[in-house]
């Protein structure tokens, strides 16, 4: 608290009460230290409020806004001084308690994230190691059948790991305000969407799903960060694969409307309840925990943050248990 704020408090609440600014500042700082070091702030708050109520009941029934405090006896003035300090500390404790609650929730989210990421990395690396051992044994035995298929599996798992690392690294840069985009001219369909579809071909095939691209333009030129847009589309397609209905299509519609490009991503699947849609882009938001324990809850947060940096916007619509649709608007301001 600044010197000016303390003086304003003294003038507003203490008036002619015999309590110097230095005394008040000393008591305030002591109370603040107590609050910072208190392991159970809620209990302390209740004790202070109990004492506050007790002292309030003991004060004579006068209108303090109209009555000159000099007319009160010394005991009443001292109780009013205590009330001012108690009230200030109660507000601080309540604020501190809320901050601790938010910090505890953030710690839990990051702990869950670490657990999930560790699990995913361990599984992927274990599989990569196992596949590599199989290839080594077959080569030594002079057998080369199915090696290409096994190599494809290794490639898929390695790309999954790299994708997760990219998302985590981008999230950390976003949180620190250090994510920088490097713009260049590229084709959204040919350079950003189709390469991701090729990378995820095995995942799509496992669920008998296909990505269909609908566009009336021969070129869909945009001035942005091609690498980050691949990350955007990877996260959105993976989301559609994870929660989409087996043997259905994922639809990409890309069209130019006046001075912006609109991209619509639609899939049939579990969707999200309408009352939860407003949180879909929040960090650590998870809506399918019972169905998929590997959901980290940072993919859509990263997607929105990257689109925001490009001056665009993304919205989500859904009919629960039926479909999910994301709409991206990108300004053509180059």
Q: What is the pLDDT along the chain (334 residues), one digit of tens a residue?
A: 555 665 565 555 445 444 444 555 665 666 667 666 767 766 766 676 676 666 666 665 555 554 555 666 776 666 666 666 666 666 666 666 677 666 666 666 566 656 666 766 777 788 888 888 888 888 888 887 778 888 888 887 887 787 778 877 787 787 778 788 889 999 999 999 999 998 888 889 989 999 999 998 889 999 999 989 998 999 999 999 999 999 999 999 999 998 999 999 999 999 999 988 988 998 877 665 544 545 567 889 889 999 999 999 999 999 999 999 999 999 997 5
| pTM of the predicted model as reported, rounded to 2 decimal places | 0.61
Domain-by-domain residue ranges, the chain? 3-104, 184-331
Q: What is the pLDDT of residues 30-50, one digit of tens each?
A: 666 766 676 776 676 667 667
Q: What is the pLDDT of residues 179-198, one digit of tens each?
A: 888 899 999 999 999 999 98
Paired strand residues for 244: 269
Tokens of 86: 């108690």
212 contact partners, CB below 8 Å, separation of at least 6? 249, 250, 251, 252
45 contact partners, CB below 8 Å, separation of at least 6? 90, 93, 94, 97
Which helix (H) or strand (E) segment holds residue 264: the answer is strand 260-268
**What is the distance between the alpha carbons of residues 199 and 196, in angstroms, rounded to a whole number?**
5
The topology (CATH level 3) of 184-331 is: Heat Shock Protein 90 (3.30.565)
233 contact partners, CB below 8 Å, separation of at least 6? 192, 193, 196
Q: Residues 230, 234, 235, 240: is their CA dihedral positive or negative?
A: positive
């Amino acid at each position: 608290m600044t010197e000016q704020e303390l003086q304003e408090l003294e003038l507003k609440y203490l008036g002619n009460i015999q309590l110097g600014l230095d005394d008040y500042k000393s008591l305030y700082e002591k109370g603040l230290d107590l609050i910072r070091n208190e392991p159970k702030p809620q209990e302390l708050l209740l004790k202070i409020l109990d004492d506050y109520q007790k002292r309030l009941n003991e004060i004579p029934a006068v209108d303090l806004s109209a009555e000159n405090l000099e007319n009160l006896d010394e005991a009443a003035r001292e109780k009013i001084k205590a009330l001012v300090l108690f009230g200030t500390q109660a507000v601080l404790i309540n604020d501190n308690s809320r901050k601790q609650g938010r910090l505890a929730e953030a710690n839990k989210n990051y702990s869950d994230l670490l657990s999930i990421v560790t699990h995913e990395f361990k599984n992927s690396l274990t599989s990569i190691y196992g596949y590599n051992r199989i290839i080594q044994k077959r080569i030594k035995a002079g057998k080369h059948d199915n090696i290409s298929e096994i190599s494809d599996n290794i490639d898929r798992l390695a790309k999954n790991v790299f994708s997760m690392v990219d998302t985590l690294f981008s999230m950390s840069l976003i949180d620190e305000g250090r994510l920088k985009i490097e713009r260049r001219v590229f084709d959204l369909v040919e350079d950003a969407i189709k390469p991701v579809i090729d990378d995820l071909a095995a995942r799509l095939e496992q669920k008998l799903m296909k990505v269909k691209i609908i566009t009336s333009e021969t070129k869909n030129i945009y001035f942005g960060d091609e690498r980050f847009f691949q990350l955007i589309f990877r996260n959105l397609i993976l989301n559609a694969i994870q929660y989409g209905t087996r043997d259905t299509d994922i639809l990409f519609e890309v069209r130019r409307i006046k001075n912006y490009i609109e991209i619509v991503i639609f899939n049939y699947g579990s969707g999200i309840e309408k009352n939860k849609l407003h949180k879909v882009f929040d960090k650590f938001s998870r809506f399918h925990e019972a169905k998929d324990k590997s959901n980290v809850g940072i993919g859509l947060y990263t997607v929105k943050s990257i689109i925001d940096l490009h001056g665009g916007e993304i919205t989500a619509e859904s009919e629960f248990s039926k479909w999910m649709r994301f709409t991206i608007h990108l300004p053509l301001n180059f």
